Amino acid sequence: MRTAFLVAPEGVEQVELTSPWQTLDDAGANPRLVSTSPGRIQAFNHLDKADTFPVDTTVAGTSAEDFDLLVLPGGVANPDFLRTDEEAVRFVRAFFDAGKPVAAICHAIWMLIEADVVRGRTLTSWPSLRTDVRNAGGTWVDERVRICSAGPNTLITSRKPDDLGAFGEAILTETRAGSVRS
């Protein structure tokens, strides 16, 4: 299963990148780090710099067709930067257009709002985004994980780092259920 993890050059919450990455890697998936710039990305532990990670490809150098699943890690700065990049927004929207599953945690829901794919869906996020989700036509719920199949694809959302175990389990359950075709 080819999995894209879309992150900005700086600002991703490290644990929201590394935990689902490890879960999918342990399950035999092929995770790839996709960013808007080549080189390395700078992760953060909340507001403090953490580790750096090598970019496998850029959004300009790949497409949704190259992947089976998209994972959007959070962090406040990460999706805020990405949603201003037209290629990154197109990349996210392409997964929805192709009916491929997408998983997003915490503030990464901003990318879904920017890609205009929230309308008519039920999802969860960091609580401060509840008004943003509602204004974009979605229904916000306060749950550890929410799986929504209301649209052309499966959308898996989660609130925060404390929910990463449930988030990873939901991604694996959905991929094993046939939502993702290797």
The pLDDT tens digits of the residues spanning 15-35 come to 999 999 999 999 999 999 999
Among the listed residues 34, 106, 118, 164, the single catalytic one is 106
Q: Is 46 a catalytic residue?
A: no
Q: Give the type of residue at 101.
A: P
In whole angstroms, what is the distance from residue 159 CA to residue 108 CA? 10
Q: Indicate whether 61 pLDDT > 90.
A: yes
Mean pLDDT along residues 5-24: 98
CATH fold of the domain at 2-176:
Rossmann fold (3.40.50)
Question: Can you say whether the dihedral through the CA atoms of 41, 43, 48, 51 is positive or negative?
Answer: negative
With 50 as the cut, is the pLDDT of residue 180 above it?
Answer: no
**Alpha helix (H) residue ranges in 115-182:** 130-135, 164-176
So what's the pLDDT on residue 181? 39
Residue among 13, 69, 72, 107 flagged as catalytic: 107
106 a catalytic residue: yes
Beta bridge partners of 10: 42
Q: Is 142 exposed, middle or buried (0-12, 13-18, 19+ CB in 10 A)?
A: exposed
